[in-house]
Structure 1
Amino acid sequence: MGKVCTGASTSIDGYVSGPDFSGFDRLFRWYESGDVAYTMPTGAMTVHLTPASAAHFDGLIRATGALVVGRKLYDHTNAWGGRHPMGAHTVVLTHRPLEDTEHFTFCGDGIEKAVEIARSHAGDKAVGLNSGEVARQAIDAGLVDEIWLDLVPVLLGGGTPFFAPGQGYQLEGPLSVVEGVEVTHLRYKVHYAEAG
């Protein structure tokens, strides 16, 4: 069984989006900071990365067998046109499930069930969780093995934070550090506090 991982492009002050779901142009500027054309597995988009970021990004995509995302992201992207650009089966955690499709499963039974469904699709590969509420619920439930951060040198000053304060876990590492242009890719192991 593969790991459960979450990650995001994050501002220096810890936000994965700015106020009113803004700031993505600044958080993802590194997607166009290099000369290596990298096309997503579905062919839905091509980004231009530095060699270091391209190798990191490709490794992440190849290691991921399924995803869990929230309904807000699913709606905001208009379901990515019918399939997530990574090409992985995607479980949508929502209180308003839709009918399952070839590429999407809708789960209204909580984060544990959503991760269980994603694991059944991922096989030996990792399950990737989108940041924000989905990641926080999974961390609170003790389900996350690693956190991957694409640390971007911008300040958003508010919005949606990646980390919630006062949680019962610590980060160990970094396990890896990859320096790109306008981004540093960091990977940490999640260590949960012992109960009692």
Structure 2
Amino acid sequence: MSTVRSHMTMSLDGFIAQPDDQVGELFEWYDAGDVAIPTPYEHVPAFNVDAASAAFLREVTDGCGAVVVGRHLFDITDGWDDTHPAGAPVVVVTHRPPADAAERWPTTSFVDGVAAAIERAEQVAGDRDVTIASANVAQQALALGLVDEVCVSLVPVIFGEGIPYFTVLDTGHLLLEDPVVVQGTRAVHLRYPVRR
């Protein structure tokens, strides 16, 4: 059975992007070491991280069979040209798929609703894992009880404002288990199993 996890890189004060959607210094850790983590595509450069971050990245990406994102991130990245760096098909939560979706993004699925998106991602992933790479989608999936693990790559920067990873949960407090902690260069990686 696959694991459904959310994973975001986050500032110390809880933001995953600046107000203008730029990531600022958040992704410095992807180029802060000498261990190359190649992507499956020649046109997408490898990540060069420290040894501890490399082990963390391999754990959360090698088994990834599908990535779930929101329409906003999909539009910002232009759907990664149908080649997400994780090397997995993408499932987009949207009420209105692009008109040319089937031609431009043939391996991408467009689904109306978070629960349906997770279900579709699990079908696509088979026995591999599902990664949620969108804060809003992650929050909704957490509220629906669909997330097994919350991952945060916490970086040493304070934004002061921006787009938060977490906001108010309609369901109240959500308890997580104690984290697995990986100290990397320019990031501390935290993996919290969701308490059942």
How high is the TM-score relative to the length of structure 2?
A: 0.91
Query: How far apart, CA to CA, are the structure 2 residues paired with 1:154 and 1:63?
Result: 29
Distance apart, 1:165 and its partner CA:
3.0
Q: Secondary structure at the match of 2:176?
A: strand
**Letter matched to residue 176 of structure 2:** L
Structure 1 segments (4+ residues) deviating >2 Å: 98-102, 165-168
Partner of 2:143: 140
Is this contact kept in 2: 1:68–1:128, CA < 8 A?
A: yes
- Is the CA contact (8 Å cut-off) linking 2:68 and 2:134 kept in structure 1? no
Q: Does 1:169 align with 2:174?
A: yes
Q: Is the 8 A contact 2:17 2:24 kept in 1?
A: no
RMSD: 1.4
Structure 1 residue 191: Cα displacement: 2.3
Distance 2:151 2:128 in 1: 16
Larger CA deviation: 91-100 vs 49-58: 91-100
Aligned to 2:56: 56
Contact 1:83-1:104 at 8 Å conserved across structures:
no
Give 1:69 deviation, angstroms: 0.5
8 Å contact kept, 2:73–2:134: no
Q: Say whether the 8 Å CA contact 2:68–2:130 is kept in structure 1.
A: yes
5+ residue gaps, structure 1 = none
| SS of the residue 1:172 aligns to | coil
Does residue 39 of structure 1 match 2:44? no
**Would you say the 8 A contact 1:33–1:49 is kept in 2?**
yes
Displacement after TM superposition at 1:90 (Å):
0.8
The percentage of counterpart residues that share the same residue type is 41
Once the two structures are TM-superposed, the CA of residue 134 in structure 1 deviates from its matched residue by 0.8
- Which whole-Å deviations, capped at 9, do the CAs of 1:154-175 have from their partners, x for residues lacking one? 101111111123434112111x
Match of 2:128 among 125, 132, 138: 125
| CA–CA distance in structure 1, aligned partners of residues 134 and 117 of structure 2 | 15
Q: CA deviation at 1:59?
A: 1.7
After the TM superposition, which of the residue ranges 34-43 and 143-152 deviates more from structure 2? 34-43
Gaps of 5+ in 2: none
Q: What SS class does the counterpart of residue 8 from structure 1 fall into?
A: strand
Matches within 5 A, 1:63-82: 63-82=63-82
State the secondary structure of the residue aligned to 2:175.
strand
After TM superposition, give the deviation of residue 51 of structure 1 in Å. 1.0
In structure 2, the residue matched to 1:12 is: 12
Displacement of 1:131: 2.9
SS at match of 1:40: coil
Q: Deviations over 1:72-96 (max 9, x none)?
A: 1111011112221111111011111
8 Å Cα contact 1:16-1:131 kept in structure 2: no
How far off its partner does 1:190 sit? 1.4
Residue 178 of structure 1 aligns with an amino acid whose one-letter code is V
State how far apart, in whole Å, the 2-side matches of 1:82 and 1:119 are. 19
| Structure 1 length-normalised TM | 0.91
